[in-house]
Amino acid sequence: MEEIIKVFQNATQLEEQRTTFFSLTKEKKIELLERLKQIKTEVVSVFLTTVYPDEKDKEIQKLIKKLLFRLKTAGVKVEEPQIRGEPAFRKVEEKKEHQGFMSNYDSEGTRVVIAAFETKKHLFAFFHAVTHFLEGLVELKSAPITKNAYQNIINEYIKGMHKPFVLAEISAKYATYLMEEGAKASGKYLQEIEQVRQFVSHVKDEVEIPADIYRLQLPDTVNALSLDRVLSNGILTPFILSWDTIDNDRKEFNSVGTSSSIVLPPYMVEEKKQAFIRVLIEHEQVKQNLMRTRRLLEDYAYIFYCLHELSSYKSLIETIKNPVTEKEMFTRFVRNSLEKTDQQPQPGLIINPYEQVRR
């Protein structure tokens, strides 16, 4: 940032100033504008007046206007920035709709991912996928459907979703990313995914890949929830990890403290269970779930954001960024999976969306 500030103190580097400014992220632009408050010169005034018309972000535009006003009141010469109007005659481009949806995982490790793209007025290309936490993409169906039929499918899903299951509206581009990611994992539907990519090639969304989830904007007043609070949220409760030896590991874990004739006090039983888990999570079969769990937490953070549960979003993002808390979260998932009984409720998550098409 210090090197960038030097550029903005030089009157002969206006084009370099513009190039630098528009290469910055929104966060860095805000940081730069905060720093420029301290430089009350005509160089800054000319720069701000020049970039204002080309800045698309309303919040950044507002900050620039405020900074120009500060310069003006400080006696610095300020030209009124000009907004470039659109030509009187221009080609009217039809804006086509696109939507994406993602559910949380059920106890069987499956979830629903939906993407829809308007191809012409009142007609959509509809893609419905089922992905599995371990196996990747296990089902992909597509159909051209009317807007009414598409809306009926979404409404049917939302009506059929009962807590703890949710269907969050996400970006269409990220929905197709999840389908492609799942196809690479399972080795299935690779040709069909190419078709999906054709529909999404022109789409620009705020979230397109997992890295974008970390850059979502939050009000300064949002505080992260504790891990205990986030884990108790119903969205996370159905999910359990699985690995080849989980049945034997579960029996051994649940028999800790009961396998001898000596009755151990509860605190010693707890210590032995914690020691058991510390050893278990270092086993290769269990450990390989760590990266998948990180992806799950990224997706769940995005779900929380889309549901406006911003404190939970912030908590998961902070958890993933910190190796210590990330491992703690993974350990809790492992423990929850060991403590689950064999009598799991039926998932009740996936319905047949094409019933709505046939009606």
Closest listed residue to residue 145, CA positions, set 172, 130, 127, 170: 127
Q: Exposure pattern of 185-221 as b/e (b: 16+ CB <10 Å)?
A: bbebbeebbeebeebbeebebebbebebbeebeeeee
Helices (H), 102-241: 147-160, 172-186, 190-200, 210-213, 227-231
For residues 36-42, average pLDDT? 82
What is the number of alpha carbons within 13 Å of residue 198 lying toward its C-beta?
7
Return the domain boundaries, the chain: 2-73, 98-215+350-358, 227-339
Q: What are the tens digits of pLDDT across the range 153-173? A: 888 888 878 888 899 999 999
Going by the DSSP 8-state scheme, the letter that residue 226 receives in this structure is P
| Cβ-based neighbour number of residue 272 at 10 Å | 14
Q: How confident is the model at residue 305 (pLDDT cuts 50, 70, 90)?
A: very high
Q: Give me the chain's average pLDDT, please.
A: 83
Return d(Cα 334, Cα 198) in angstroms, integer: 39
Percent pLDDT > 70 in the chain is 84
Whether 154 and 161 have beta carbons less than 8 Å apart is answered as no
Stretch (H or E) spanning 128: strand 123-132
Of residues 330, 323, 326, 325, the one with CA closest to residue 287: 330
List, in sequence order, every residue forming a beta bridge with 169; answer none if it has no partner. Answer: 101
293 with 329: CB under 8 angstroms? yes
DSSP string, 38-78: T--SHHHHHHHHHHGGG---HHHHHHHHHHHHHHHHTT---
CA 7 remoteness from chain centre: 35
Q: What is the DSSP letter of 323?
A: H
Q: State the pLDDT confidence band at 24, using cuts at 50, 70 and 90.
A: confident
Phi-psi region of 136 (alpha: psi -120 to 50; beta: other; left: phi over 0): left
How do residues 241-268 score in pLDDT, each as one tens digit? 888 888 999 999 988 877 656 667 888 8
3-state secondary structure at position 116:
strand
* Distances in whole angstroms, Cα of residue 285 to Cα of each of 34, 245, 310, 331: 49, 8, 33, 14
Q: Is the pLDDT of residue 359 over 50?
A: no
Rounded to whole angstroms, how far apart are CA atoms 168 and 263?
A: 48
How far apart are the C-alpha atoms of 285 and 248, rounded to whole Å? 13
User: Which of 11-25, 58-72, 241-255, 341-355 shows the lowest mean pLDDT across its residues?
Assistant: 341-355
CB 356 within 8 A of CB 160: no
pTM across the whole model:
0.68
The CA distance from 78 to 318, in Å, is 42
Q: Read off the pLDDT of residues 87-135 as tens digits, 9 standing for 90 and up.
A: 444 444 456 789 999 999 998 899 999 999 998 888 999 999 999 999 9
Q: Which residues contact 301 (CB under 8 A, 6 or more apart)?
A: 213, 312, 313, 316, 317, 320
* Strand-pair category, 110-120 with 98-103: antiparallel
State the pLDDT confidence band at 73, using cuts at 50, 70 and 90.
confident
Distances from the Cα of 278 to the Cα of 274, 303, 331, 339, angstroms: 6, 30, 8, 15
Residue 343 has pLDDT above 60, yes or no: no
| Rounded-to-integer distance, Cα 50 and Cα 245, Å | 64
Q: Please give the helix or strand (H or E) that residue 117 lies within, else none.
A: strand 110-120
